[in-house]
Amino acid sequence: MKAIRAATYGVFYRLPVGMRRWIVRRAVPKYVVGAVCLVRDSDADGERLLLLRQPPGRGWSLPAGLLERREAPIVGAARELAEESGIRLRPEELRPAVPNAIVHARGWVDVVFEASVPASTTTLEVDGAEVYEAAWHRLDDLPKLTRATAKLLAYYGIGPLTDQPGPWAALKP
């Protein structure tokens, strides 16, 4: 089953972005809502962030995924965090990020939540199919990020795009 799942993800992530969006829109015809987790290392005073390397493996991203039908965003965020990193938190242990919802062009909405866990006592578990690797990274020394992750992190003043023009610039004091 794991091999089939890995092959399916491999094929899906090799498709052009437009085709992947088309497939997702057919499965979720009205709109696409994702749940995202910004997980900081409480041992490092929040100066480290949990990132994942997922297929096709060209950049690092945040734990995230699409909500299931009728699933509350906070429940979906906790579920995705557990599925992709092995970190099991109850929904009430997550807190809404500010801003909580990021609306992207083309009908995509990310609902973002934050959490802090001690990296020293937190075991990261990945399945090797949906996620290749999970690791903690210093905010001042982030690895190559996916473009979507870099854009999303900019809303929170994190990463390489924070000083560039974009919709996140309106949120700066």
Using pLDDT thresholds of 50, 70 and 90, give the confidence band for residue 32. confident
Residue 24 has pLDDT above 90, yes or no: no
Whole-number Cα distances in Å, 132 to 35, 46, 135, 139, 165: 20, 24, 10, 21, 32
Query: Which tens digit of pLDDT belongs to each residue from 58-106?
Result: 899 999 999 998 899 999 999 999 999 999 999 999 999 999 999 887 7
Buried residues in 92-121 as b, exposed as e (16+ CB within 10 A): eebeebeeeebeeeeebebbbbbbbbebee
Query: Which tens digit of pLDDT belongs to each residue from 102-130?
Result: 988 777 899 999 999 999 999 999 988 89
Alpha helices per DSSP H over 28-163: 73-85, 147-154
CATH T-level fold of 2-157: Nucleoside Triphosphate Pyrophosphohydrolase (3.90.79)
Alpha helices per DSSP H over the chain: 2-14, 17-27, 73-85, 147-154
Q: Give helix 17-27 / helix 2-14 axis angle, nearest 10°.
A: 120
Query: Which tens digit of pLDDT belongs to each residue from 4-18?
Result: 888 888 888 888 988
In degrees and rounded to multiples of 5, residue 140 shows phi and psi of -90, 5
Give the mean pLDDT of the chain.
Answer: 90
At residue 159, the pLDDT reads 94
Q: pTM to 2 decimals?
A: 0.81
Please state, as a whole number, how many other Cβ atoms lie within 10 Å of the Cβ of residue 146.
Answer: 18
